[in-house]
Amino acid sequence: MNASHDATAPRSLLWFRQDLRLQDNPALHSALQRGAVIPVYIESFGEEGDWPPGAASRWWLHRSLQSLTAELQALGAPLILRRGAALQELRRLLQETGADAVFWNRRYEPAVLARDRSLKQALRAEGLIAESGNAALLVEPWDIRNQSGKPFQVFTPFMRQLLKQLAVPKAVPAPRTWPGVGRWPASLPLDALELLPKLGWYQGFEDSWQPGEAGAHRRLEAFVASALTGYSERRDRPDLPGTSRLSPHLHFGELSPRQIWRALPAAERAGGKYLAEVVWREFAHHLLYHFPHTADQPLREEFQRFEWREDPAGLRAWQRGATGIPLVDAGMRELWRTGWMHNRVRMVVASLLVKHLRLPWQSGSRWFWDTLVDADLANNTLGWQWTAGCGADASPWFRIFNPLSQAEKFDPEQHYRQRWLADVSAPSAPIVDLKETREAALAAYQRMRKA
């Protein structure tokens, strides 16, 4: 089916970013209200500061763009792919198409936020319409403040305030037809974006994931139908299918938190355990927006004085899942093979790195950034600073996970460890003594406090 077009209708560019869906897409809805729409994706990783997408994220993005392209083609529209500076490519497309408006959905990473602000200002200064919408969050990070008018740094009151303010709009369905433009501008082939990493370790991802909007909705429906009821009891068990595994779909905007909220039963919407996980993601974005330096610096300034160790061999053993500590090694191998790790295990492997190995949390953050398909700057930052005790509402430094007792409690029959360590011929000796390194970590913390 070819999209019909009206040569006299206003034309708009729809700039896809991390909102790779057609349902419940505010920017798409706004663009369609005007007339003809030219959908475009621009690879402009050079404008994302120190945090361009990591290798696993690039694999997911490649597959998600494939899925979005197919959805648009079914409506008679191509996805126009470009590569380069975003403002420059948008200007070219505006000139090529005669469009006079650009619509997009907001992102919140510091470098991208700054780029988008200047880009919007530049387009408007040229007499063009430039509008952004909220497709990624329940509530904008600047719309929630504590009683003192300051950003929240504790989760529970943040969640309470968010639920108090929350007003989820009605869902906007995907378009059934696409108003075309007659002659579409030129597009690069997807492979020209060179998203897929040269190291083909990601082949195993194909068995674990279905990137794209359709895959996101299938996973949401399956979770609500089967795992949500026992979520509180099963969510900490890596040996059981108790989590939603929606995080990469949320990061790439194949699904929105508002769609999740609508899919949840009323009791869960009122503040259930799973909704709290969705709101934790909101808390992460709230913090990154108000404290943008925390992507690589601790929120609690005293941790700038902490005595981190240098141990390249220890870091490498941790990355490879070769620490000799079964639950940690199983988690790191799950990460390498699937691009994902169960959240309970993430906390355990992170605790081993920053407390037993006493390596900087930034080293772990960077590894996760490159290897997780759900690598999200806000979530990643909050998670690592929580474990390291240096962030908002953080776990106290003296809370040091014992990976052996954690394994006994949350993988009691060893199914998780056996699955991911099945190809390990003989277990290696642990690279650290858990008792000695725990005591050393506590001593280092006390020295920091006295400094």
Residues carrying an active site annotation: 277, 280, 308, 343, 361, 384
Within 8 A by CB and 6+ apart from 448, the residues are: 302, 303, 305, 306, 307
What are 96's two structure tokens?
């090529």
Least Cα distance to 74 among 11, 30, 22 occurs for 22
Within 8 A by CB and 6+ apart from 220, the residues are: 244, 246, 249, 255, 259, 260, 263
Give how far the C-alpha of residue 417 lies from the chain's centroid of Cα atoms, to the nearest Å: 26
**Which string of DSSP letters, residue by residue, matches 190-243?**
GGGG--S-SSGGGGGGGGT---SHHHHHHHHHHIIIIISTTHHHHTT-TTS--S
CA dist 331 and 319 (Å) reads 10
- Nearest-5° angle of CA 55, CA 238, CA 232? 115
Give how far the C-alpha of residue 51 lies from the chain's centroid of Cα atoms, to the nearest Å: 12
In the block, which residue shows the tokens 């053993």? Answer: 317
Least Cα distance to 64 among 81, 51, 76 occurs for 81
Least Cα distance to 153 among 389, 397, 388, 394 occurs for 394
Q: Is 134 exposed, middle or buried (0-12, 13-18, 19+ CB in 10 A)?
A: middle
Measured from the Cβ of residue 9, the count of other Cβ atoms closer than 10 Å reads 14
In the block, which residue shows the tokens 């690589």? Answer: 296
